[in-house]
Amino acid sequence: MRTTRRTGNNAPEGTKGGASDPRLRWYPVSWRARYGDELATLLDDEYGGHLPTLVRLSLVTCGLRQRARQSGLTGDVASAADRVRAGALVVLAAWSAFVIAGASLAKFSEHFDESLPQRTEAHRVPDLAFTVLQTVAGVASALVVAGAFLAIPAFARYLRAGGWASVRGHFGRALACTSVTAAATVLLFFWAHHLTPHQRNSGFHWYGALFLIWAALIAVTFTFWTAAAVASARRVELPTAVLTAEAALSASVAVAMVVMVCAAAVWWGAMAKDAPTFLMASPGGAAASSWDIWLISTVALMAVAMVTAAAGVVREVRVWAQMRAA
Amino acid sequence: MGRGKSAHGRRSNDPPTLILMSLAGGAKHGHALLKDVEEFAGVKLGPGALYGAITRLEERGLIEALESDDRRRPYQITAAGSRALADYVARMRGLVEVGQARLKVARMPQPGMA
pTM higher than the cut 0.80 = no
Q: Is residue B5 part of a domain?
A: no
pLDDT of residue A127: 93
Residue A161 and residue A50 in one domain = no
Which chain A residues contact residue B46 at CB under 8 A? 54-55, 58, 62
Which chain A residues contact residue B59 at CB under 8 A? 7-8, 77
- Give the integer Cα–Cα distance in Å for B92 and B6: 9
Residue A152 and residue A245 in one domain = yes
- Give the integer Cα–Cα distance in Å for A117 and A135: 24
Residue A224 and residue A313 in one domain = yes
The residue among A86 and A324 whose pLDDT is bigger is A86
State pLDDT tens for residues A144-179: 999 999 999 999 999 999 999 999 999 999 999 999
- Give the integer Cα–Cα distance in Å for A312 and A68: 13
Residue A54 and residue A140 in one domain = no
Residue A137 and residue A31 in one domain = no
State pLDDT tens for residues B48-63: 999 999 999 999 999 9
Mean pLDDT of chain A: 87
**β pairing state of B75-77 and B63-65:** antiparallel
Contact flag B48-A55 (C-beta cutoff 8 Å) = yes
Q: Is residue B46 part of a domain?
A: yes
Residue A240 and residue A120 in one domain = yes
The residue among A65 and A6 whose pLDDT is bigger is A65
CATH of the domain at B34: 1.10.10.10
Best of A9, A13, A38 to disrupt the B interface (most B CBs within 10 Å) is A38
State pLDDT tens for residues A71-104: 888 888 888 989 999 999 999 999 999 999 999 9
Mean pLDDT of chain B: 86
Residue A21 and residue A151 in one domain = no
Say yes or no to pLDDT of B10 above 80.
Answer: no
pLDDT of residue B4: 44
**Residue range of the domain that includes A60:** 17-69
Number of folded domains that form chain A:
2
Kindly indicate the confidence band of residue B90, based on its pLDDT and cuts at 50, 70 and 90: very high
* Residue B110 DSSP one-character state: P
Instruction: Count the residues in chain B.
Output: 114
Q: Is residue B35 part of a domain?
A: yes
Q: Is residue B8 part of a domain?
A: no
pLDDT of residue A203: 67
Contact flag A42-B74 (C-beta cutoff 8 Å) = no
pLDDT of residue A84: 93
Interface of B with A (CB under 8 A): 27, 29-31, 34, 46-52, 54-56, 58-59, 64-68, 71-74, 76
CB count in 10 Å sphere of residue B31? 18
Residue A142 and residue A238 in one domain = yes
Number of folded domains that form chain B:
1
Say yes or no to pLDDT of A39 above 60.
Answer: yes
Nearest residue of B to residue A57, measured between CA atoms: B48
Residue A63 and residue A91 in one domain = no
Residue A155 and residue A60 in one domain = no
Which of A29-43, A282-296, B9-23 tops mean pLDDT?
A29-43
**Residue range of the domain that includes B52:** 15-107
Please give the backbone phi and psi of residue B28, each rounded to the nearest 5 degrees, phi first: -150, 155
- Give the integer Cα–Cα distance in Å for A110 and A283: 10
Q: Is residue B69 part of a domain?
A: yes
Residue A266 and residue A145 in one domain = yes
Q: Is residue A198 part of a domain?
A: no
Say yes or no to pLDDT of A13 above 50.
Answer: no
Rounded mean pLDDT, A130-147: 96
Q: What one-letter code names the amino acid at B45?
A: L
Q: Is residue A145 part of a domain?
A: yes
Rounded mean pLDDT, A254-283: 87
For residue A281, give Cα distances in angstroms to A107, A108, A287: 13, 10, 7
Rounded mean pLDDT, A48-58: 90
Contact flag B31-A45 (C-beta cutoff 8 Å) = yes
Q: Is residue A97 part of a domain?
A: yes
> What percentage of chain A carries pLDDT values higher than 90?
62
Model ipTM?
A: 0.80
State pLDDT tens for residues A232-264: 998 999 999 999 999 999 999 999 999 999 999
- Measure B31 CA to nearest chain A CA, in Å: 6
The residue among A48 and A84 whose pLDDT is bigger is A84
CB count in 10 Å sphere of residue A14? 7
Q: Is residue B87 part of a domain?
A: yes
Q: Is residue A304 part of a domain?
A: yes
